[in-house]
Structure 1
Amino acid sequence: MPETRAFQILVDTATTIDDVITGMFLVNSVPARVLFDYGSNHSFMAIRFCDKLNMLVCMLPEPLEVEVGNGKTVPVTTYVSGISIEIDGSVFPLTCLVMPIPSFDVFLGMNWLSFHKSRIKCDKKMISFPMANVTHAIAQGEQGGCSHPLISMMMAKKSLEKGCELFFAYVIDIKKDKKDYH
Protein backbone atom coordinates (compact mmCIF):
# COMPACT_ATOMS: atom_id res chain seq x y z
CA MET A 1 0.00 0.00 0.00
CA PRO A 2 1.52 3.41 -0.95
CA GLU A 3 2.09 5.85 1.90
CA THR A 4 1.61 9.61 2.13
CA ARG A 5 1.71 12.23 4.89
CA ALA A 6 -0.86 14.63 6.35
CA PHE A 7 -0.16 17.12 9.12
CA GLN A 8 -2.93 17.47 11.67
CA ILE A 9 -3.25 20.54 13.85
CA LEU A 10 -5.98 22.24 15.88
CA VAL A 11 -7.54 25.46 14.59
CA ASP A 12 -6.54 27.57 17.63
CA THR A 13 -2.93 26.40 17.32
CA ALA A 14 -2.85 27.02 13.56
CA THR A 15 -3.86 30.67 13.90
CA THR A 16 -1.24 31.46 16.54
CA ILE A 17 1.94 30.06 14.96
CA ASP A 18 3.73 31.72 12.04
CA ASP A 19 4.55 28.67 9.91
CA VAL A 20 0.98 27.51 9.34
CA ILE A 21 -1.57 29.28 7.14
CA THR A 22 -5.29 28.77 7.61
CA GLY A 23 -8.47 30.64 6.75
CA MET A 24 -12.07 30.53 5.60
CA PHE A 25 -12.61 30.10 1.85
CA LEU A 26 -15.50 29.08 -0.37
CA VAL A 27 -15.34 25.47 -1.52
CA ASN A 28 -18.11 24.81 -4.05
CA SER A 29 -19.67 28.06 -2.74
CA VAL A 30 -19.77 26.72 0.85
CA PRO A 31 -17.61 28.37 3.56
CA ALA A 32 -14.83 25.99 4.57
CA ARG A 33 -12.01 26.11 7.11
CA VAL A 34 -8.89 25.46 5.01
CA LEU A 35 -5.33 24.64 6.06
CA PHE A 36 -2.60 25.28 3.49
CA ASP A 37 -0.48 22.30 4.44
CA TYR A 38 2.93 22.34 2.79
CA GLY A 39 3.89 19.43 5.10
CA SER A 40 1.40 17.18 3.32
CA ASN A 41 2.02 15.38 0.03
CA HIS A 42 -1.65 15.46 -1.01
CA SER A 43 -4.82 17.48 -0.50
CA PHE A 44 -7.53 16.15 1.80
CA MET A 45 -11.18 16.81 2.60
CA ALA A 46 -12.90 15.88 5.85
CA ILE A 47 -15.54 13.17 5.46
CA ARG A 48 -18.13 15.38 7.20
CA PHE A 49 -17.45 18.27 4.80
CA CYS A 50 -17.64 15.97 1.78
CA ASP A 51 -21.05 14.82 3.06
CA LYS A 52 -22.09 18.47 3.51
CA LEU A 53 -21.21 19.18 -0.14
CA ASN A 54 -23.07 16.03 -1.23
CA MET A 55 -20.17 15.12 -3.51
CA LEU A 56 -19.86 11.89 -5.46
CA VAL A 57 -17.06 9.91 -3.81
CA CYS A 58 -14.81 7.76 -6.02
CA MET A 59 -12.74 4.75 -5.02
CA LEU A 60 -8.97 4.93 -5.33
CA PRO A 61 -7.49 2.21 -7.56
CA GLU A 62 -5.31 1.23 -4.60
CA PRO A 63 -5.73 2.22 -0.91
CA LEU A 64 -3.28 4.71 0.60
CA GLU A 65 -1.84 4.63 4.10
CA VAL A 66 -1.71 8.24 5.31
CA GLU A 67 0.66 9.05 8.15
CA VAL A 68 -0.89 11.73 10.36
CA GLY A 69 0.79 14.10 12.83
CA ASN A 70 0.79 11.69 15.79
CA GLY A 71 2.71 9.08 13.76
CA LYS A 72 -0.29 6.79 13.27
CA THR A 73 -1.47 5.73 9.84
CA VAL A 74 -5.02 6.02 8.52
CA PRO A 75 -6.19 4.03 5.49
CA VAL A 76 -7.67 6.21 2.73
CA THR A 77 -9.73 4.56 -0.01
CA THR A 78 -11.76 7.42 -1.55
CA TYR A 79 -11.39 10.80 -3.23
CA VAL A 80 -13.57 13.58 -4.65
CA SER A 81 -12.96 15.64 -7.77
CA GLY A 82 -14.80 18.40 -9.59
CA ILE A 83 -14.46 20.69 -6.60
CA SER A 84 -13.49 24.34 -6.75
CA ILE A 85 -12.05 26.72 -4.18
CA GLU A 86 -12.40 30.48 -4.45
CA ILE A 87 -9.39 32.54 -3.44
CA ASP A 88 -9.35 36.31 -3.82
CA GLY A 89 -12.09 36.19 -6.45
CA SER A 90 -10.35 33.50 -8.52
CA VAL A 91 -11.63 29.92 -8.77
CA PHE A 92 -9.18 27.00 -8.63
CA PRO A 93 -10.01 23.34 -9.37
CA LEU A 94 -9.43 20.83 -6.59
CA THR A 95 -9.32 17.07 -6.11
CA CYS A 96 -9.03 15.72 -2.56
CA LEU A 97 -8.51 12.44 -0.80
CA VAL A 98 -11.29 11.90 1.73
CA MET A 99 -10.45 11.03 5.34
CA PRO A 100 -11.50 11.83 8.91
CA ILE A 101 -10.07 15.27 9.78
CA PRO A 102 -11.12 16.70 13.16
CA SER A 103 -10.36 20.42 12.92
CA PHE A 104 -10.46 21.51 9.27
CA ASP A 105 -12.68 20.97 6.25
CA VAL A 106 -9.90 20.94 3.63
CA PHE A 107 -6.11 20.53 3.66
CA LEU A 108 -4.40 21.88 0.54
CA GLY A 109 -1.15 19.95 0.23
CA MET A 110 2.04 20.30 -1.78
CA ASN A 111 0.53 18.62 -4.86
CA TRP A 112 -2.06 21.41 -5.14
CA LEU A 113 0.25 24.23 -4.00
CA SER A 114 2.95 23.19 -6.51
CA PHE A 115 0.49 22.76 -9.38
CA HIS A 116 -0.73 26.34 -8.86
CA LYS A 117 2.85 27.67 -8.54
CA SER A 118 2.10 29.20 -5.15
CA ARG A 119 4.54 31.43 -3.27
CA ILE A 120 4.27 31.16 0.49
CA LYS A 121 5.20 33.97 2.89
CA CYS A 122 4.94 32.33 6.30
CA ASP A 123 5.79 35.48 8.28
CA LYS A 124 2.85 37.31 6.66
CA LYS A 125 0.58 34.22 6.61
CA MET A 126 0.06 34.83 2.91
CA ILE A 127 0.10 32.69 -0.24
CA SER A 128 0.30 34.21 -3.70
CA PHE A 129 -0.94 32.46 -6.85
CA PRO A 130 0.20 33.85 -10.23
CA MET A 131 -2.68 34.32 -12.66
CA ALA A 132 -2.65 34.34 -16.48
CA ASN A 133 -3.40 38.09 -16.62
CA VAL A 134 -0.13 39.00 -14.82
CA THR A 135 -1.91 39.55 -11.50
CA HIS A 136 -1.88 37.39 -8.39
CA ALA A 137 -4.62 35.85 -6.29
CA ILE A 138 -3.73 36.24 -2.61
CA ALA A 139 -4.80 33.91 0.19
CA GLN A 140 -4.41 35.80 3.46
CA GLY A 141 -4.37 33.49 6.47
CA GLU A 142 -5.92 34.19 9.84
CA GLN A 143 -3.78 35.97 12.40
CA GLY A 144 -3.67 35.50 16.12
CA GLY A 145 -5.70 32.80 17.79
CA CYS A 146 -9.24 33.67 16.74
CA SER A 147 -11.34 30.59 17.46
CA HIS A 148 -14.39 31.96 15.61
CA PRO A 149 -14.58 31.60 11.84
CA LEU A 150 -13.79 34.74 9.87
CA ILE A 151 -15.44 35.39 6.53
CA SER A 152 -14.43 37.55 3.62
CA MET A 153 -16.59 40.26 2.12
CA MET A 154 -17.27 37.96 -0.84
CA MET A 155 -18.58 35.22 1.48
CA ALA A 156 -20.66 37.81 3.37
CA LYS A 157 -22.17 39.07 0.09
CA LYS A 158 -23.06 35.55 -1.04
CA SER A 159 -24.59 34.77 2.37
CA LEU A 160 -26.71 37.93 2.18
CA GLU A 161 -27.87 36.97 -1.32
CA LYS A 162 -29.05 33.64 0.12
CA GLY A 163 -31.11 35.50 2.75
CA CYS A 164 -28.81 35.01 5.75
CA GLU A 165 -28.65 37.58 8.55
CA LEU A 166 -25.16 38.91 9.17
CA PHE A 167 -23.72 40.86 12.07
CA PHE A 168 -20.37 42.59 11.74
CA ALA A 169 -18.13 43.85 14.51
CA TYR A 170 -14.89 45.76 14.26
CA VAL A 171 -13.01 45.33 17.52
CA ILE A 172 -9.89 47.15 18.62
CA ASP A 173 -7.91 46.20 21.71
CA ILE A 174 -7.26 49.62 23.26
CA LYS A 175 -4.85 48.04 25.75
CA LYS A 176 -2.39 47.26 22.95
CA ASP A 177 0.45 49.66 22.33
CA LYS A 178 0.07 51.68 19.14
CA LYS A 179 3.48 50.42 17.98
CA ASP A 180 2.00 46.90 17.68
CA TYR A 181 -0.11 47.95 14.66
CA HIS A 182 2.69 48.08 12.06
Structure 2
Amino acid sequence: MSGKQAHTAISRSVTEKLRNGQVVTIRPMEKSDIELERAFITNLSPESRHFRFLGGIGEPSEQLLKQLTDIDHDEREAFIALLESDKGPLEIGAARYILEASRTAAECAVVVADDWQMQGLGTLLLNRLIESARARGVKHLYSIDSAENIKLRDVARSMGWDCHTDPQDHTQVIFTLDLSAT
Protein backbone atom coordinates (compact mmCIF):
# COMPACT_ATOMS: atom_id res chain seq x y z
CA MET A 1 0.00 0.00 0.00
CA SER A 2 1.47 3.37 -1.00
CA GLY A 3 1.61 6.29 1.44
CA LYS A 4 -1.29 7.97 -0.34
CA GLN A 5 -3.38 4.78 -0.24
CA ALA A 6 -2.56 4.31 3.44
CA HIS A 7 -3.56 7.91 4.18
CA THR A 8 -6.84 7.42 2.32
CA ALA A 9 -7.55 4.27 4.34
CA ILE A 10 -7.14 6.11 7.66
CA SER A 11 -8.89 9.26 6.51
CA ARG A 12 -12.28 7.58 6.55
CA SER A 13 -14.78 7.36 9.38
CA VAL A 14 -14.93 4.13 11.35
CA THR A 15 -17.30 2.88 14.01
CA GLU A 16 -15.99 1.17 17.12
CA LYS A 17 -17.64 -0.47 20.11
CA LEU A 18 -16.54 0.61 23.59
CA ARG A 19 -16.33 -1.68 26.62
CA ASN A 20 -19.78 -0.57 27.74
CA GLY A 21 -21.26 -1.56 24.36
CA GLN A 22 -21.74 2.02 23.12
CA VAL A 23 -20.86 2.52 19.45
CA VAL A 24 -18.80 5.61 18.56
CA THR A 25 -17.66 7.08 15.27
CA ILE A 26 -14.01 8.05 14.92
CA ARG A 27 -13.14 10.29 12.01
CA PRO A 28 -10.64 12.95 10.99
CA MET A 29 -11.13 16.37 12.60
CA GLU A 30 -12.48 19.11 10.33
CA LYS A 31 -12.48 22.91 10.57
CA SER A 32 -16.26 22.76 10.90
CA ASP A 33 -15.84 20.86 14.22
CA ILE A 34 -14.95 24.07 16.07
CA GLU A 35 -18.22 24.20 18.05
CA LEU A 36 -17.99 20.49 18.92
CA GLU A 37 -14.43 21.10 20.15
CA ARG A 38 -15.52 24.17 22.16
CA ALA A 39 -18.26 22.21 23.95
CA PHE A 40 -15.95 19.22 24.48
CA ILE A 41 -13.16 21.23 26.12
CA THR A 42 -15.58 23.36 28.14
CA ASN A 43 -17.25 20.24 29.55
CA LEU A 44 -14.01 18.53 30.59
CA SER A 45 -13.38 18.51 34.32
CA PRO A 46 -10.67 20.90 35.56
CA GLU A 47 -8.44 17.84 36.13
CA SER A 48 -8.92 16.54 32.57
CA ARG A 49 -8.27 20.03 31.12
CA HIS A 50 -5.14 20.26 33.26
CA PHE A 51 -3.92 16.84 32.10
CA ARG A 52 -4.61 17.69 28.43
CA PHE A 53 -3.15 21.21 28.36
CA LEU A 54 -0.67 20.94 31.27
CA GLY A 55 -2.15 24.01 32.85
CA GLY A 56 -5.36 25.56 33.98
CA ILE A 57 -7.53 26.72 31.15
CA GLY A 58 -11.17 27.62 31.51
CA GLU A 59 -13.09 28.57 28.41
CA PRO A 60 -10.97 27.77 25.34
CA SER A 61 -9.99 30.86 23.35
CA GLU A 62 -10.92 31.31 19.70
CA GLN A 63 -7.22 31.10 18.84
CA LEU A 64 -6.86 27.73 20.62
CA LEU A 65 -10.01 26.36 19.00
CA LYS A 66 -8.84 27.40 15.53
CA GLN A 67 -5.44 25.83 16.19
CA LEU A 68 -7.05 22.57 17.32
CA THR A 69 -9.47 22.33 14.38
CA ASP A 70 -7.39 23.75 11.51
CA ILE A 71 -5.84 20.43 10.56
CA ASP A 72 -3.96 19.90 7.28
CA HIS A 73 -3.98 16.06 7.65
CA ASP A 74 -0.30 16.01 6.72
CA GLU A 75 1.92 17.77 9.27
CA ARG A 76 -1.00 18.11 11.71
CA GLU A 77 -3.43 15.22 12.14
CA ALA A 78 -6.38 14.87 14.46
CA PHE A 79 -9.21 12.43 15.01
CA ILE A 80 -12.48 13.04 16.82
CA ALA A 81 -14.71 10.47 18.56
CA LEU A 82 -18.42 11.17 18.28
CA LEU A 83 -21.67 9.83 19.70
CA GLU A 84 -25.03 10.54 18.16
CA SER A 85 -27.33 12.12 20.73
CA ASP A 86 -30.82 13.56 20.57
CA LYS A 87 -29.15 17.00 20.25
CA GLY A 88 -26.87 15.91 17.39
CA PRO A 89 -23.26 14.74 17.42
CA LEU A 90 -21.42 14.86 20.75
CA GLU A 91 -17.62 14.83 20.89
CA ILE A 92 -16.35 12.47 23.58
CA GLY A 93 -12.67 12.20 22.63
CA ALA A 94 -9.92 13.59 20.44
CA ALA A 95 -6.42 12.56 19.47
CA ARG A 96 -3.84 14.50 17.51
CA TYR A 97 -0.23 14.78 16.53
CA ILE A 98 2.02 17.36 14.94
CA LEU A 99 5.09 16.35 12.98
CA GLU A 100 8.49 17.73 13.84
CA ALA A 101 10.45 19.39 11.01
CA SER A 102 12.33 16.12 10.39
CA ARG A 103 8.97 14.41 9.71
CA THR A 104 10.30 11.33 11.53
CA ALA A 105 8.88 12.18 14.98
CA ALA A 106 5.61 13.66 16.18
CA GLU A 107 4.25 14.97 19.44
CA CYS A 108 0.80 13.60 20.22
CA ALA A 109 -2.03 14.11 22.68
CA VAL A 110 -5.23 12.25 23.50
CA VAL A 111 -8.12 13.35 25.69
CA VAL A 112 -11.33 11.52 26.55
CA ALA A 113 -14.41 13.08 28.15
CA ASP A 114 -14.61 12.30 31.84
CA ASP A 115 -17.79 10.21 31.58
CA TRP A 116 -16.24 8.08 28.83
CA GLN A 117 -12.87 7.29 30.41
CA MET A 118 -11.97 3.66 31.14
CA GLN A 119 -14.12 2.40 28.24
CA GLY A 120 -11.25 1.74 25.80
CA LEU A 121 -11.72 4.96 23.80
CA GLY A 122 -8.25 6.30 24.59
CA THR A 123 -6.71 3.08 23.25
CA LEU A 124 -8.85 3.25 20.09
CA LEU A 125 -7.82 6.85 19.49
CA LEU A 126 -4.14 6.09 20.14
CA ASN A 127 -4.29 3.17 17.72
CA ARG A 128 -5.74 5.46 15.05
CA LEU A 129 -2.90 7.95 15.62
CA ILE A 130 -0.30 5.21 15.41
CA GLU A 131 -1.80 3.90 12.18
CA SER A 132 -1.79 7.39 10.68
CA ALA A 133 1.76 8.14 11.79
CA ARG A 134 3.06 4.87 10.37
CA ALA A 135 1.35 5.61 7.04
CA ARG A 136 3.34 8.86 6.90
CA GLY A 137 6.65 7.19 7.76
CA VAL A 138 6.88 8.60 11.28
CA LYS A 139 9.39 6.63 13.34
CA HIS A 140 8.67 7.96 16.85
CA LEU A 141 5.65 9.33 18.69
CA TYR A 142 6.00 11.12 22.01
CA SER A 143 3.77 12.86 24.50
CA ILE A 144 4.60 15.16 27.41
CA ASP A 145 2.12 14.69 30.21
CA SER A 146 1.47 15.30 33.89
CA ALA A 147 3.15 12.78 36.17
CA GLU A 148 -0.14 12.70 38.09
CA ASN A 149 -2.08 11.23 35.15
CA ILE A 150 -2.09 7.62 36.33
CA LYS A 151 -4.83 6.50 33.89
CA LEU A 152 -2.76 7.61 30.90
CA ARG A 153 0.37 5.98 32.29
CA ASP A 154 -1.44 2.65 32.64
CA VAL A 155 -2.86 2.81 29.09
CA ALA A 156 0.46 3.88 27.56
CA ARG A 157 2.45 1.16 29.32
CA SER A 158 -0.08 -1.52 28.33
CA MET A 159 0.39 -0.40 24.70
CA GLY A 160 4.18 -0.61 24.87
CA TRP A 161 5.08 3.07 25.32
CA ASP A 162 8.21 3.89 27.32
CA CYS A 163 7.84 6.37 30.15
CA HIS A 164 10.43 8.50 31.92
CA THR A 165 10.43 11.64 34.02
CA ASP A 166 10.97 14.85 32.07
CA PRO A 167 14.53 15.97 32.98
CA GLN A 168 13.45 19.61 32.68
CA ASP A 169 10.37 19.28 34.91
CA HIS A 170 9.86 16.49 37.46
CA THR A 171 6.08 17.11 37.48
CA GLN A 172 5.90 15.83 33.91
CA VAL A 173 6.62 12.55 32.18
CA ILE A 174 7.53 11.83 28.58
CA PHE A 175 6.00 8.84 26.83
CA THR A 176 7.70 7.54 23.69
CA LEU A 177 6.79 4.88 21.19
CA ASP A 178 9.22 3.57 18.59
CA LEU A 179 7.04 2.88 15.56
CA SER A 180 9.79 1.14 13.65
CA ALA A 181 10.04 -1.54 16.36
CA THR A 182 6.35 -2.30 16.89
Using the size of structure 1 for normalisation, the TM-score is 0.29
The higher radius of gyration belongs to 1
Flag the structure with more relative contact order, 1 or 2, with Cα contacts below 8 A and sequence separation at least 6: 1
Q: Pick the structure with more helix per residue.
A: 2
Using the size of structure 2 for normalisation, the TM-score is 0.29
